[in-house]
Every structure is written in structure tokens, then in C-alpha cells.
Amino acid sequence: MRKENLEKRRFIPRKTYSDSFKRMVVSEYEKGILNKDRIQEKYGIGGNSRVLSWCRKFGKLHYPIKGEIGRPMKGPQKQRIKELEKQLSDAKLKVLAYKKLISITEQEENISILKKGTAGR
């Protein structure tokens, strides 16, 4: 029975694409005119992650690795700004947490942890 199933299957050779074709597809994808699915339809590219793997290899933008979320932003400057904004937001939260910790400690221990500035200086 197993042999019969193997005989019924048709062997379809895997398509290979040139590097120049891959770069062209990646360039078109990064311009944002068409999404991945439309590009695959347009050029007859099979597979769920083939275009994404080409983008990781040939692309100019950051493409998330498995586990990361989101589509890459347009332009490296915008990506850098977004990263810096995230770092600033995290730093602000950290400062807020430290201030709250100092406030609670001062109340519970009835001591002054931070030096208060004097008017004469």
C-alpha cells in the first residue's frame, strides 16, 4: 500500500532563482508597493517564507527573526529613531521606579535619602 502511494505522487522539482532575481524581488518588497503575498503571486514564487528569507539575506532593512513581531520600518533612520524612543521610554520608567522606591524607603525608615539642595549654593 505504501509503494502505491509513492507511485501516485508526482515529483515536482524545486525552482531555483538567480541572485539578481532575488534582489529585484526584495527591492520591490522594500519599496512597499506590494505585500509579500502579492509579490509571490506576481512572480509565481512558492513557499511561505521564501521571500522573507531572501529579504534577510539581501535586504537593506531589519527583518525580524522568528519570535520577533512586526514588519520592518522604512529607512534605517526611522528604525534608529524608534529604537532610541524605546530606550528613552524604558529609562523614564526606570527613573520613575527608583523615585517611588526612594519615596517608600524614606517614609518607612523616616530618613532622608536624597540630599536636598540649599538656596545659598
Identify the residue whose cell numbers are 520592518: 72
Supply the pLDDT for residue 52: 86
φ, ψ at 25 (rounded to 5°): -65, -45
φ, ψ at 88 (rounded to 5°): -65, -45
Supply the pLDDT for residue 87: 94
Tens digits of residue pLDDT in 23-48: 999 998 888 888 889 999 999 898 88
